[in-house]
Structure 1
Amino acid sequence: MLAARAVRPLDAPPSTGADDDPLQFLEVAEREPAPVPDAWVPVRVRAAALNRHDLWTLRGVGVHPEALPVVLGCDAAGTTEDGRDVVVHAVLSDADWAGEETLDPGRTLLSERWPGTLAPVVRVPARNLVDKPAELSFEEAACLPTAWLTAYRMLFTNSGTSPGDTVLVQGAGGGVSTALVALGAAAGLRVWVTSRSEERRARALELGAHAAFAPGERLPERVDAVLESVGRATWAHSLRSLKPGGTVVVCGATTGDAPAELNRVFFTQLRVVGSTMGSRDELRRLAQLCAATGVRPLVDDVLPLAETAEGLRRLEAGEVFGKLVIRP
């Protein structure tokens, strides 16, 4: 079958440097599917979405070396052999784990140890399937399992905010940030965003943000929560922007780790909450929320599987606003 795979050599050390072109380790070719546990069920992939996780995998970060070469992709919506339309939950917990999936110390994501979704068929445990609402297209549903689920958990599980509160989204345009804007606005939050790009600030306002600012710009007032994925470049501004007792929810640090600024944290009684992906139940609730409210993921473009390299190039170059979807 045609699949997009990471083929980084086993002896190549992981790299996070900009000088290492991750696409040199991408292969889109006909290959036999890798084996998975017998009990896992096949899903015909109708649409899959790209994520920065795919670029990290190509750089050798987070992927199990023994899994290489591995099919890329965390996100998918498709159809099972019995005709059920589903969304695939990408978090794979141990079969014996009884708690919430994201808290399993041994958890992994599709494409880290097992083949991912950038192929005509993906195989997953039956418990990782959520019904796709008929109101969502396969392309829209494919955007939910990573970026939109991350945003949902940040907003509704971890931020502690209520309708009428103000939240600041650091960075505008990526999959998580566009999801935060759309979901936050639909939930009755006042959503502010930052971006270096005037064009992206304008597009965020069109998407539902109530105000947009340059990075580091002084805000008209302090906010109830900051939704942070940037890291070092925005961390100080995030803490300064919070009301006393406010919450910063962190799902990533794309510009690197940042000083903790503990004096500010304890003196103004800030809450710093880590947030990673989301549970299967949260994915189900997210899909139902989109169906009921009309909120939809912003799809920047839809490409065939053979053009995965072009999609990842655009993602790496920061040329995507919303989500890029691959149709196998």
Structure 2
Amino acid sequence: MRAAYAIASAPTDPRSALQVGEQPEPVPAEGWVTVDVRAASLNQHDLWSLRGVGLPADRLPMILGCDAAGVDPDGNEVVVYPVVEDKADPRGYSMFSERYPGTLAERIAVPRENLVPKPAGLSFLDAACLPTAWLTAYHMLATRGRADEASSVLVQGAGGGVATAAVALAVAMGKRVYATSRDPGKREKIAALGATAAEPGARLPERVDIVIESVGVPTFEHSMKCSAPGARIVVCGATGGHLATVDLRRVFAMQLDILGSSMGTRSDLAALLDLMVAQEVRPVIDSTYGFSAVADAFARLESGDVFGKVAVDFLH
């Protein structure tokens, strides 16, 4: 079967470790099934895998990809929940493409319990954009950020998959949403999603109840200054650096919660799918590639110019 997979670790030139070609058919373990993949999407996780982060040499070659939608052996249209229970991992779980072959293949073996019904109102391509970035954003807002208790949200560094998803979802939840970006073009796109766009570090009209933080050092001080009393600063990454300075006086004086967040649960994914259909929200897709052009999809992701998701359509 056709697949996109890592053949080496290339810290400085990740795409040099990418191979597109034939790989063995999956052999499902007990309780697992084979899904025919109809669409997938890329994440920064895939580039990190090509760099060798979390993917040691003894697991190579490894089929890449965490996100997919497709058809199960019974003909049901499904979305693949990307987290697998893994007692060998210190976290207690792993993602597809870390220990088990990933989603950038014509077929993938997954635990049957990882299959979530795809709503008829979502295309395979839209559904395939949701399981990692959009699920992470949903979990940050709804679960860790307690969005039902909030009226306002700040999203730092909008443009990438998680931050853009957080903007769209917070707007769909009826919140007042502010989002920052250094790029004027991206700020225009943020505004088109229904948020108030701002330059990094800009003073906001109000202090917010939730901050979605994935940048780190360049934005964390601003995140704290923009937080209302009792606000939740929810952190899922640190693309700009992880050694941020925290003014503890502000933390205790304003009674702020600084919360780590990673991925989400299967039930979160089901709730996200329901929200997408009910509110007629569709994922922001930067670009779509046929599988024969998957190497170009990786080049687009690595460019850093993306706004939303880079998707792969297996039907073209």
TM-score by length of 2: 0.94
User: Matches of 1:35 and 1:112 in 2, distance apart?
Assistant: 17
Deviations 1:156-206 (A, max 9, x none): 111123376111000121111221111111111001000001110010110
Out of 217, 241, 255, which is 1:269 matched to? 255
Out of 186, 204, 218, which is 1:233 matched to? 218
Letter in 1 for 2:153: V
Pair 1:84-2:76 in alignment: yes
Letter in 2 for 1:219: L
User: Matches of 2:199 and 2:279 in 1, distance apart?
Assistant: 30
Q: Would you say the 8 A contact 2:26–2:107 is kept in 1?
A: no
Task: Report the Cα offset of residue 65 of structure 1.
Answer: 3.7
Q: Would you say the 8 A contact 1:67–1:114 is kept in 2?
A: no
Equivalent in the alignment of 2:114: 128
Out of 254, 267, 276, which is 1:290 matched to? 276
* Secondary structure, counterpart of 1:76 in structure 2: strand
| Residue segments in structure 2 that go unaligned for 5+ positions in a row | none
Equivalent in the alignment of 1:223: 208
Out of 46, 60, 66, which is 1:74 matched to? 66
Change (3 A) 1:158 1:104: farther
Equivalent in the alignment of 1:100: none
Task: Report the Cα offset of residue 104 of structure 1.
Answer: 8.2
Task: Report the Cα offset of residue 294 of structure 1.
Answer: 0.7
Pair 1:26-2:18 in alignment: yes
Task: Report the Cα offset of residue 317 of structure 1.
Answer: 1.3
| Residue segments in structure 1 that go unaligned for 5+ positions in a row | 98-102
Identity of aligned residues (%): 51
Aligned runs of 1:31-70 on 2, under 5 Å?
A: 31-33=23-25, 37-70=29-62
Task: Report the Cα offset of residue 75 of structure 1.
Answer: 0.2
> Which segment drifts farther, 260-269 or 44-53?
260-269
Deviations 1:218-241 (A, max 9, x none): 222211111001111111111111
User: Matches of 2:144 and 2:7 in 1, distance apart?
Assistant: 36
* Secondary structure, counterpart of 2:66 in structure 1: coil
4+ residue segments displaced more than 4 Å: none
Q: Would you say the 8 A contact 1:162–1:189 is kept in 2?
A: no
Q: Would you say the 8 A contact 1:2–1:29 is kept in 2?
A: yes
* Secondary structure, counterpart of 2:258 in structure 1: strand
User: Matches of 2:297 and 2:52 in 1, distance apart?
Assistant: 19
TM-score by length of 1: 0.91
Equivalent in the alignment of 2:232: 247
RMSD across aligned C-alpha pairs, in angstroms? 1.9
User: Matches of 1:215 and 1:299 in 2, distance apart?
Assistant: 24
Task: Report the Cα offset of residue 292 of structure 1.
Answer: 1.6
